[in-house]
Structure 1
Amino acid sequence: MMARNRKKTIVISLVILLVSVVIGGGIWFFTTPSAEAKAAEVGSTSTQSPLKMSAYYIVLPEPFIFNVSGKERDRVVQIKVQLMVRGEQNEALAKKHVPLVESVLLQTFAAATVEQLRQPQGREQLRQQALTTVQATMNKMTNMPVVERVLFTGFVMQ
């Protein structure tokens, strides 16, 4: 009678163990991504379009302060600038070349006139010109435009 109870206990234990293994294997099988899904995921992250990559903003440390000539009198202008880039690689490149970017921006801003900066269209034109200049300079240094937008976050003319 004891041998019979012992065999019954062993059989029940084996059945429970087998059911546990099957359930665990099923859970693992359905929750682990397949090799194709992993390959697709790796491929999609490396070929993301620039608009899907995260935007990073580089704040230039000091505002640009420069003189502009006008018909009646010269003015002093202060512009605070931020650069928008996409992706961590472009962020690192932009930060690395901040002194160069500041230099070309100052040259671009100094060529402006009071009449140009009084008008919103003139300020937008200056911003576009600054973007073109920065992208051309970064293209020479890194073979990539790096900067997507030049943003004026502060503008004062006295």
Structure 2
Amino acid sequence: MADEDLEIEEGGKKKGKMMIIIIAVVVLLAGGGAGAFFFLGGEEPEEVDAAAEEVMEEEPVNTGLAMYVAMPRPFQFNAPGVARERLVQIEVQLMVRGIENEERAKRHIPMIEGTILSVFSAANADELVTDVGKVDLKEKATAQVRQVMNELEKDPVVEQVLFTGFVIQ
């Protein structure tokens, strides 16, 4: 009789362990399914802000192969901030379309450098530490360079001002 009680208890322990394992597997599968739903689920696209929309609506400068004109040296300037002044160094390249626009941009590098430096020197250090501030600065620089090139060449020439290096101390 004592032997029968031992066998029943051992069988009961095996069933209990099996139930725990089954419950754990079900919970893991449900969690995995929920995670897959949230990560792969149908998200609605984010709204594009007005400034980005304006940049998208502008006609391309010229159709052709994208060319990149590097500025000869990085821009270094002091940016005032609320807490303290910071030293900023930005490396810039200009994206143009076609060899003709590349040559036109290279011809006016001193004017472009002056324009970009005036935009950069008006920046605030507290804004430059945020991603939004960097994007805003890039958009302002692009707009100013395009305006100056339009006055000089009767064509915006430069499609985009790109930051290839950004250091703030």
TM-score (norm 2): 0.63
| Secondary structure in 1 matching 2:67 | strand
- Is 2:129 aligned against 1:118? yes
Partner of 2:89: 78
1:35-87 residue CA offsets vs partner (Å, 9 max, x unmatched): xxxxxxxxxxxxxx866411110010100000000011100000000000001
Partner of 1:151: 162
CA deviation after TM superposition for structure 1 residue 92, in Å: 0.6
Runs (4 or more) in structure 1 with deviation over 3 Å come to 49-52
Structure-1 separation of matches of 2:63 and 2:128: 34
| Secondary structure in 2 matching 1:93 | helix
1:3-152 aligned at under 5 Å gives the runs 52-152=63-163
Number of aligned residue pairs = 110
Structure-2 separation of matches of 1:116 and 1:69: 10
CA RMSD of aligned residues (A): 1.2
Structure-1 separation of matches of 2:121 and 2:109: 18
Structure-1 separation of matches of 2:78 and 2:61: 36
Q: Which runs of 5+ in 2 are unaligned?
A: 1-59
CA deviation after TM superposition for structure 1 residue 135, in Å: 0.2
TM-score (norm 1): 0.67
CA deviation after TM superposition for structure 1 residue 136, in Å: 0.3
The aligned amino acid for 2:109 is V
